[in-house]
Chain A
Amino acid sequence: MTEVLDTSTPMGRPLKRKEDARLLHGQTNWTDNIQLPGTVHMAILRSPMAHAKITKLDVSGALDQPHVVAAYGAAELGDLNGAIPCVWPVTDDIQMPPFPALAVDKVRHVGDAVAVVLATDKTAAYDALEAIDVDYEPLPAVVDMEAALQPGAPLVHDGEGAPMSNECYTFPLPGTGIPYDEAKAKADVVVKRRFVNQRIIAGYMEPRAVVASPMGMSNEMTVWSATQIPHILRVLLSLVTGLPENALRVVAPDVGGGFGGKLQLYREEILAVQLARHLGRPVKWTETRSEDMVASHHGRDQIQDIEICATKDGKLLGLKVDLLADMGAYLQIITPGIPLLGMFMFPAIYKMESYDFNCVGVFTNKTPTDAIRGAGRPEATFAIERIMDELAAELNMDPMKLREMNWIQHEEFPYATIAGLTYDTGNYEAATAKAMDLFGYDELRAEQEARRASGDPVQLGLGISTFTEMCGLAPSRTLGALKYVAGGWEHCTIRALPTGKIELITGTSPHGQGHETAWSQIAASILGVEVEDIEVVHGDTGRAPYGMDTYGSRSLAVGGQAIKKAAERLVEKAKVIAAHQLECSVDDLEFVDGAFRVKGDPEKAQPLAAVAFEAFSAHNLPDGVEPTLQAEATVDPDDFSYPHGTHLCAIEVDTETGKSTIRKYVCVDDVGVQVNPLIVEGQVHGGLAQGIAQALYEGVEYDEDGNLLTASFADYLIPSAADLPSFVTGTTVTPSTTNPLGTKGVGEAGAIASTPAVINAIVDALRPMGVTDVLMPASPQNVWRAIEDAKGGAA
C-alpha cells in the first residue's frame, strides 16, 4: 500500500502539537486549579459496606466543626437530592431502579454516597466527616453475577417497585443468518469456552473535579468539570436539577485523560450544582484517588460463554455468544448499552452463516460499570480472537491460516456482516502481510519449536489478534433504533476574523487527543491559512454551544466532517464577496493558496484575510450578502467506519514462576486517512499499553463481602515504563467511504486489539502443557495456577 504525502497542505503531516507548550510549562487550567472567592469545599461520607440499611444518620455533629457551613444526609437534602438518569434503556422491560445522588435508607456498594459536608477549608470538610453519626445494619452482599441470578439471592434493589430479581435486562439479538443449531448440525468441530473479561478502571491521571459557581441573584450557573462531555452534561444537569438549560454553562477546561471514565453524569456533579444554587456560593469538589476507585465507574466485567463451530477444513459456520454483564449496583448513564456495542463486533472480520447473541445484565453490590476505552468492543474482540486460537488448536491448524481463510477479502467491501453492519473498507491481507514481515513470524515459530524440544523452562508463545472495530459514533437514526436517547451528530463553526485569524469552534471535547492541532490541520488545508493562525475553541458550552463531545473514536470521523463542510461553506461565502471586490463573476475565480484568483490572471487576487476584513467593515458588500464571514455545519454521519489491524505478540513465559515478559509487540493498524501520523502513532501506543495492562496487570478485585481490595494505585497495578516494552508500529491506509475525509478512528484501536494478542501468546506458550486459558490479569500467580491446574487435569 503506497502512502502519498501531499506536502502542499498541512493534512497528513506529523506536525508537533500546538497544545504542548503550556502543558510542558505547568501553564494549565485543570478544574482543581480554579479558586473562586467564597468557595465552599465539598466532602462526601461514603459507605464502608457493600450492602446495608442506614439505621441512623445524624449530620449535626459535623455542623459544630470548624469552618463547616452545611451538612446533609438524604433527609436534609430533600428535593435537592437529584437522581442520575440512565439514557440508554436497552429493552422495553429493563429494570431501572432509582439512583439518588445521596443514598436513601440503604447503601448498595462500597463508596455509595451517604452524606455531604461543606466547609470553607477543604481539609476541614474532610475532618468534619468524622463527626457524622451513622449506623449501618449489614445485609448480605451479592458480588458474583451467577450467584446474583440464583433464586433467593439477596436483592440489590428491593424497595417499592423494585425488580424481583437482580436481572436488569435480557437482550437477544434476533435473526442473523441461519439458526445456530442448523449451522452446528453441519459442523465437524465445535469449540466452547468460558472467558472472563475482568473489571478494570479507566485510570485517567487527573482525578475528577467539579466547581459550580452561581451568578448573583439569577438562575445562571457556570460549572467547570473534568469531563469528556460538557454538552451532554449540560442537558443532563438541566434535566436533573431543573436549572434552565439556557442559564447553565458547562466548561471542560484542560482535562487530564478520560478513557471513557469521564463520559458520565456523576452524583458529585449533581450535588455541587444543587448545593451551589442552594447556598448561593461556589461549591468545589475534587476527588481523592481512593474515592475515584470506589466512586467513578468501572468497566468491562463480563462472563462470556462462547461457542464456535466449523468444518474440519476450518471454514467457520456459526458463533454463539451468551453474556453475563455486570451492571454494578446502579445504572449510570449508558451502563446497560455497553455490552450491546460489543454485540455487533463478536463476528469481527470473519464470514459465517449464523450468529446468535444473548446478554443478561446483572445487578451486584459493586461500583456501577460503564464505558471504558473501547466500551463493549474490547470484550467482543477478546472473545472472538481467543476462540479463534482455540479453534485453530482443535483443528491443529496455524492460527493465522485459520483467520486468513475466514476473513473478508479486500475486494468484498463494502461487506454486510452477519451481525447486521456494513463494513465500509478494509484490507486485512495487506495489514497482516506487513505485520508478519515486521514480526518475523516464521523465525519466532522456529525458536518456539526449539524451546519446546529442549524443554526450556522459559517457553515462547506467539499471539495474534486480527481485529476490527466500529467507530465514529454514530448515525442518529441507528442510536434511536437502539433506544439511546441522544443523537450522534457533530458541529463546527468557523469564523474568519477581521484581523486575518481564524476561529474554529468545535463540538468535540478533547482531553489529550490533540484536537487543537489536528483540527487546525484540516481547516488550514481547506482555507489555505497557516496552522498557527487557527484557534480551536472547544469544551465550553458558552463559546461552543453545539456539540456531542468526545468518546467512541468519534471526534475525527464525525467532527472532521463538520470541519470540512464548514470550511468549504466559508470559502463559498467569501468567494461571492471576493468576486464583488475583484469586479468579476464568481465563476471566474479559483481559490488557491489562501487567495481568490482570477482564472488566467492569478496576479489579480484577493486573500481570504482581505475578504474577512471587507465582511467586517461591510462598506462594500454585494447586494444580499450579510456582514461577517463565518460558516457552520452540523453533520450526522451516514454510517460507522471500521478501522482494523493485525497485532502480533511474542511473549516469554517462565513456566516455573508464571512470569510473562513481552519479547516483541508488532502492530499494523489501518485507521484510514491520517490527519497527523504523529498523533495517530501516539494514540496507538497508549491504547496498546492499556490493553496490555488489562491482559497482564490490572483488575478490580472484591472480596466475597463486596469490599474493594484494589482501592488505591498502591493496590491496583497501573503499569509503569518499567512494566512495558517499546512497540513496533506500522500502518496501512485504506480510506473510509463513509466520510469525505476518508478517516476512521484510532483512539480505542490499540486497547481493543492488544488484550487478546497477549493472552493468546501466553496460552500458545503453555498449550503443550495442557493449558487452554489463563485468567486475566495474567499475573505470575494466575499463570502459575493455570499451569498447575493443567497438570492436575492430566494426572
Chain B
Amino acid sequence: MTHVPISVTVDGTVYDGEVEPRTLLVHWLRDSLGRVGTVVGCDTSSCGACTVLLDGRSVKSCSVLAVQADGHSITTIQGLAEGEDNWHPVQTALKECHGLQCGYCTPGMVMSTVDLLSENPNPTEEEIREGLHGNLCRCTGYHNIVKSVQHAAEAMGGAK
C-alpha cells in the first residue's frame, strides 16, 4: 500500500513520517511514535478514551486519519502538564476530587474537559454532563468527575 508523508507537531515536537492513508491518528501516535498515553477503548468513536486536542480543540483520535493531522498541532495527555510539578488544573482537580479509578478513560476525560472549559469556563452541572457525554467511564459513575470539572473551573477562575 502506498504511503503518504506527513508532518505533525505532537506535544511540541515535530514528527515527520510516512503513513498508510487509512492509518488512524491514534494508531500513528501509539504504534509509530510510541506516544502510548493516548489509548483506544472502542472502535465506534463511542467512548472518547482516545481524545486529544487538534489545534486546541478536542477530537477523538480514532476518528481522525493521521493524514488529516498533517500540518497541524496535536496535544495529548502526555504534553498537557508543563513539567512534573506544574500540572494542568484539570489534572490537579481530578486527583483532588478522586475523579479517576482505573485511569483508562482519564486521558480522554482530561482532554475533553480542557476543551469544555475553554469553551465554557463556568459550566453548570448539566452543561458538564452534556459536555462530557462523549467520554465513557465505567469506574466513577461520573459523580466525582463532575465535581472535578467544577473544581478545575474554580481553580482556573471561571466559577464564582
Chain A residues closer than 8 Å to B142, beta-carbon distance: 685, 689, 720-721, 724
Chain B residues closer than 8 Å to A2, beta-carbon distance: none
- Residues B144 and A685 in contact, CB atoms below 8 Å apart: yes
Chain B residues closer than 8 Å to A513, beta-carbon distance: 101
- Residues B106 and A24 in contact, CB atoms below 8 Å apart: yes
- Residues B102 and A511 in contact, CB atoms below 8 Å apart: yes
Which of B95, B133, B136, B139 has most A Cβ within 10 Å?
A: B139
- Residues B145 and A721 in contact, CB atoms below 8 Å apart: yes
Complex CA gap A726/B132 in Å reads: 14
- Residues A256 and B103 in contact, CB atoms below 8 Å apart: yes
Complex CA gap A277/B106 in Å reads: 35
Complex CA gap A514/B139 in Å reads: 12
- Residues B135 and A23 in contact, CB atoms below 8 Å apart: no
- Residues A712 and B42 in contact, CB atoms below 8 Å apart: yes
- Residues B143 and A685 in contact, CB atoms below 8 Å apart: yes
Cβ-closest chain B residue relative to A21 = B95
Question: Does residue A33 face the partner (Cβ distance < 8 Å to B)?
Answer: yes
Which of A24, A33, A203 has most B Cβ within 10 Å?
A: A24
Question: Does residue B130 face the partner (Cβ distance < 8 Å to A)?
Answer: yes
- B26-54, CB under 8 A of A: which get 1 and which 0? 00001100111111111110110100000
- Interface positions of A from 472 to 518, Cβ below 8 Å from B: 511-514
Chain A residues closer than 8 Å to B104, beta-carbon distance: 30, 204-206, 256-257
The one of A26, A203, A254, A682 in contact with B76, judged by C-beta atoms closer than 8 angstroms, is: A26
Number of A interface residues, CB 8 Å? 57
Complex CA gap A413/B137 in Å reads: 38
Complex CA gap A679/B139 in Å reads: 11
Stretch among A12-20, A313-321, A600-608 lining the B interface: A12-20
Chain A residues closer than 8 Å to B144, beta-carbon distance: 681-682, 685
Chain B residues closer than 8 Å to A33, beta-carbon distance: 30, 36
Question: Does residue B138 face the partner (Cβ distance < 8 Å to A)?
Answer: yes
Cβ-closest chain A residue relative to B101 = A512
- Residues A722 and B129 in contact, CB atoms below 8 Å apart: yes
The one of B31, B47, B81 in contact with A713, judged by C-beta atoms closer than 8 angstroms, is: B47
Chain A residues closer than 8 Å to B106, beta-carbon distance: 23-24
Complex CA gap A679/B30 in Å reads: 31
- Residues A206 and B39 in contact, CB atoms below 8 Å apart: yes
Complex CA gap A290/B30 in Å reads: 20
The one of A206, A679, A682 in contact with B41, judged by C-beta atoms closer than 8 angstroms, is: A206
- Residues B140 and A289 in contact, CB atoms below 8 Å apart: no
- Residues A720 and B135 in contact, CB atoms below 8 Å apart: yes
Chain B residues closer than 8 Å to A718, beta-carbon distance: 46-47, 136, 138
- Residues A20 and B100 in contact, CB atoms below 8 Å apart: yes
Complex CA gap A546/B78 in Å reads: 35
Write the nearest CB–CB distance from A511 to chain B, whole angstroms.
6
Cβ-closest chain B residue relative to A727 = B143
Question: Does residue A678 face the partner (Cβ distance < 8 Å to B)?
Answer: yes
The one of A21, A203, A682, A683 in contact with B138, judged by C-beta atoms closer than 8 angstroms, is: A203
Write the nearest CB–CB distance from B102 to chain A, whole angstroms.
3
Question: Does residue A361 face the partner (Cβ distance < 8 Å to B)?
Answer: no
- A662-705, CB under 8 A of B: which get 1 and which 0? 00000000000000001101110111111000000000000000
Known A23-B106, A512-B139, A682-B140; contact A205-B31, beta-carbon cutoff 8 A: no
Question: Does residue B91 face the partner (Cβ distance < 8 Å to A)?
Answer: yes
Write the nearest CB–CB distance from A449 to chain B, whole angstroms.
29
Known A20-B100, A721-B146; contact A205-B46, beta-carbon cutoff 8 A: no
- Interface positions of B from 86 to 116, Cβ below 8 Å from A: 87, 91, 94-96, 98, 100-107, 110
Question: Does residue A794 face the partner (Cβ distance < 8 Å to B)?
Answer: no
Question: Does residue A207 face the partner (Cβ distance < 8 Å to B)?
Answer: yes
Chain B residues closer than 8 Å to A123, beta-carbon distance: 20
The one of B39, B132, B139 in contact with A30, judged by C-beta atoms closer than 8 angstroms, is: B39
- Residues B37 and A257 in contact, CB atoms below 8 Å apart: no
- Residues A27 and B42 in contact, CB atoms below 8 Å apart: no
Cβ-closest chain B residue relative to A683 = B101
- Residues A257 and B139 in contact, CB atoms below 8 Å apart: yes
- Residues A205 and B95 in contact, CB atoms below 8 Å apart: no
Chain B residues closer than 8 Å to A512, beta-carbon distance: 101-103, 139
Chain B residues closer than 8 Å to A28, beta-carbon distance: 36-37, 39, 103
- Residues B43 and A682 in contact, CB atoms below 8 Å apart: no
Question: Does residue A714 face the partner (Cβ distance < 8 Å to B)?
Answer: yes
Cβ-closest chain B residue relative to A687 = B141
8 shortest interchain CB distances as A-B pairs: A26-B37, A256-B104, A512-B102, A23-B103, A689-B141, A713-B46, A685-B141, A26-B77
Q: A: which residues have CB within 8 A of B?
A: 16-17, 19-21, 23-28, 30, 32-33, 35, 122-123, 203-207, 254-257, 259, 288-290, 511-514, 678-679, 681-683, 685-690, 712-714, 718, 720-724, 726-727, 750
A-B contact pairs, 23 of them (CB 8 A): A17-B95, A21-B95, A24-B91, A24-B94, A203-B138, A205-B47, A205-B105, A205-B136, A205-B138, A256-B39, A256-B104, A289-B42, A290-B44, A513-B101, A682-B139, A686-B140, A690-B141, A713-B46, A720-B134, A721-B145, A724-B141, A724-B142, A726-B146
Given contacts A204-B104, A205-B139, A690-B138, 12 further A-B contacts (CB under 8 A): A24-B110, A25-B78, A25-B80, A290-B43, A686-B138, A686-B141, A720-B129, A721-B133, A721-B142, A722-B129, A723-B133, A726-B146
